Every structure is written in structure tokens, then in C-alpha cells.
Chain A
Amino acid sequence: GAVVSQHPSWVICKSGTSVKIECRSLDFQATTMFWYRQFPKQSLMLMATSNEGSKATYEQGVEKDKFLINHASLTLSTLTVTSAHPEDSSFYICSARDRAGVGGYTFGSGTRLTVV
């Protein structure tokens, strides 16, 4: 089945630094990928929709200059958390659907970001 690889699985960084999270579709092409944020014991909140070859679409309240998204190829989307603060600490998950648009969405295994 479809596989989405997300890397790293966890990262600890200092306040003020930037962190890049990668999301790769391993065996299918994804023109669209989605980035979610999840706080402990809460649901997933969509942050942005990543579109291959064009600008990402951000959800209301999500700072596009803070959460930079790049979708340079049909198999890779990256999320960069810039100038990270402790309140950015969270679980970030990406997902994708193959171009045929059939069936459910495939999710990465998530990235636990801790900003100290």
C-alpha cells in the first residue's frame, strides 16, 4: 500500500532556531500533501495544504512566514518551523493522497518537536 515517510520522528531544538521536517511519498506521486499539528490528547488541526509547484494554502490563524512549506516535487513536501519558540512544541503530521484520489489518505508517522 501507499507509504508516507516523515523525518525526523523527533527533534529537540533551541528557541530561535529553525527546524525542517520532511514528508515523502515513497511509492506514489502526491500533487497535494497536508500538514497537521496535534497537541497532547487532542485532535489533528490542519495547518496548510501543500501544492506541488505552487504556493501552499494556509488555514486561518496559521502564520505562513513562521511555518514555511515547500513542495518542490511530486514526492516531497517540507515544513520549516522558523524561529521556533517553546509554544511551537507539538506533534506535526503530514499526509498525502495518491494522484488517482482513491481511498483514504496516508499519514506519516509524525514528528515530535520540542523547543527548549
Chain B
Amino acid sequence: SQQGEEDPQALSIQEGENATMNCSYKTSINNLQWYRQNSGRGLVHLILIRSNEREKHSGRLRVTLDTSKKSSSLLITASRAADTASYFCATAALRGTASKLTFGTGTRLQVTL
């Protein structure tokens, strides 16, 4: 399987704390993306980092990419209860503009008050 691995599988933190999720993948990529999924809903695109980028920020989100280790991390700072969701990394292969995405196994984040 080409599916990526994410860890931890589940993470429970208190509001205000930071949450870090890690993703490892197997093939060469064009870019790596992070998505959030609320229970029973579709996915929401959070951030995209290209293969020639090492770090990217968007609001409370910080993503890093290490192509030599085929790994990425997503940091959510100052977490809120509304951040409770599953988070998936997804990689786009090195071809075309409509490359299919391969998703990681996901991290279920629970933020408690």
C-alpha cells in the first residue's frame, strides 16, 4: 500500500495547548497537503506545502516538510475546542495537475475545555 502513516493515531489535549501531528509517506511527491475532517463530514483543505518548501504558516497552523526523511508535521498552536476533528495528510504524486491524492491514516484530535 502507498498509504502514508500518521502518528499519533489519537491525541487528546486541553484547550490552549499545542498539538503536533506527524506524517510519513513513501514516494516522491509534488506537494503535501493537510486536511481536517469533522465527524461524518467532508474534508476541508488546510494547507499545502510544495516539495521545495521546508516550512509554511497559516494562522495557527505550522507545517514542516522534510523530503529527505519523507515526513511532515502539522502544528496547531493555542488549540481550541473547535479544532476537535480528524486530521489527514495527503500527498500528490510527481505528475500532472490533477494528480490523485494518497491519504495518511489520520490523527484524531480531541481538544477539551
Contacts and interface: CB of A to CB of B under 8 A. Distances in A.
Interface of A: 4, 6, 31-32, 34, 41-46, 49, 91, 93, 95, 97, 100-101, 103-110, 112
13 contacts: A4-B42, A34-B101, A43-B104, A44-B88, A44-B103, A93-B43, A103-B48, A105-B33, A107-B35, A107-B42, A108-B42, A110-B41, A112-B40
Contacts of A110: 40-42
Contacts of A100: 97
A31 B40 CA distance: 27
Interface size class, chain B: 20 to 34
If over half of B's interface residues share one DSSP class (helix, strand or loop), that class is named, otherwise mixed; here it is strand
B51 interface: no
Nearest to A41: B108
A43 B103 contact: yes
Contacts of B41: 109-110
A97 B48 CA distance: 13
Contacts of A31: 98
A6 B42 contact: yes
Nearest 4 pairs of A and B residues by beta carbon: A101-B97, A104-B45, A32-B98, A107-B43
Contacts of A105: 33, 45, 101
A106 B48 CA distance: 13
Contact of A93 (B42, B48, B102, B108): B42
Interface string B91-113: 00000011011111110100000
A34 B108 CA distance: 24
B92 to A, nearest CB: 9
Nearest to B10: A41
